[in-house]
């Protein structure tokens, strides 16, 4: 249980810290001259939209892991940890390829020009952002749902609650700090090495799950 909790917390913290989750909200807020309350409200809505799609897919993946684990002990002891390690290795390979072709890399976060929003209403912008966030679930967490599902519904619940709470709360904090002009945290490294960090964590979690099963 604690392993699932800590793993979910670490993955959620790293994922929510990626700039493309909160910088667009700060940029739009300044462009549209939103108040702090309006911006935090938008962050809350889009944050929940993002976590909702991840949780929905995760519950399905976790249910599959639960059903398989209940019938085949090898699933929870070998296959589930192996999936985490495999996904982690895939992320590392992607990171290496991105580093080799760094000159072709483009930033993934939204770019907001002063007049790009025109006179769109606040709700139109909010709905657009929410849809965009809903359609980009946290893929790396889905592999962890499979591992969590191997211990039952309690594991799926832990991942869902921890991920939702951590992601939304951290997004609110980062957006608030960004609005207040506190931008001393260097997020450049995290932004460009998210896959490597996530990959290493998934590999470590997979190994720990195998050792302590």
Q: What is the pLDDT along the chain (213 residues), one digit of tens a residue?
A: 788 898 889 888 888 887 777 888 888 888 778 889 999 999 999 999 989 999 999 999 888 877 776 665 555 566 667 776 777 787 678 778 777 765 444 444 444 444 444 445 778 878 888 888 888 787 778 878 888 887 888 999 999 999 999 999 999 999 999 888 754 444 555 556 666 766 777 677 667 766 655
Tokens of 197: 């960090």
d(CA 10, CA 33): 34
> Containing domain of residue 120, as a range?
2-76+111-184
- 100 belongs to a structural domain: no
Phi, psi for residue 18 in degrees, rounded to 5: -60, 130
What size, in residues, is the chain? 213
Q: What domain count does the chain have?
A: 1
Flag whether 193 is in a domain.
no
Within a domain: 132: yes
């Amino acid at each position: 249980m604690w392993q699932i909790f800590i793993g979910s917390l670490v993955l959620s913290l790293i994922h929510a810290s990626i700039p493309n989750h909160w910088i667009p909200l700060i940029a739009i807020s300044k462009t549209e001259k939103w108040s702090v309350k309006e911006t935090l409200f938008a962050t809350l809505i889009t944050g929940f939209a993002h976590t909702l799609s991840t949780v929905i897919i995760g519950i399905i993946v976790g249910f599959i892991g639960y059903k398989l684990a209940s019938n085949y002990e090898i699933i929870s002891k070998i296959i589930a940890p192996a999936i985490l390690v495999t996904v982690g290795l895939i992320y590392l390979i992607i990171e290496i390829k991105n580093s080799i072709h760094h000159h072709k890399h483009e930033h993934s976060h939204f770019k907001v020009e002063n007049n790009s929003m025109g006179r769109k209403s606040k709700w139109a912008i909010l709905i657009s952002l929410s849809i965009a966030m809903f359609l980009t679930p946290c893929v790396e967490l889905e592999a962890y749902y499979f591992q969590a599902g191997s211990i039952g519904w309690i594991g799926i619940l832990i991942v869902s609650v921890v991920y939702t709470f951590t992601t939304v709360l951290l997004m609110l904090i980062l957006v608030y700090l960004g609005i207040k002009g506190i931008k001393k945290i260097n997020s450049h490294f995290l932004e460009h090495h998210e896959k490597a960090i996530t990959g290493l964590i998934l590999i470590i979690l997979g190994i720990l799950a195998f050792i302590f099963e």
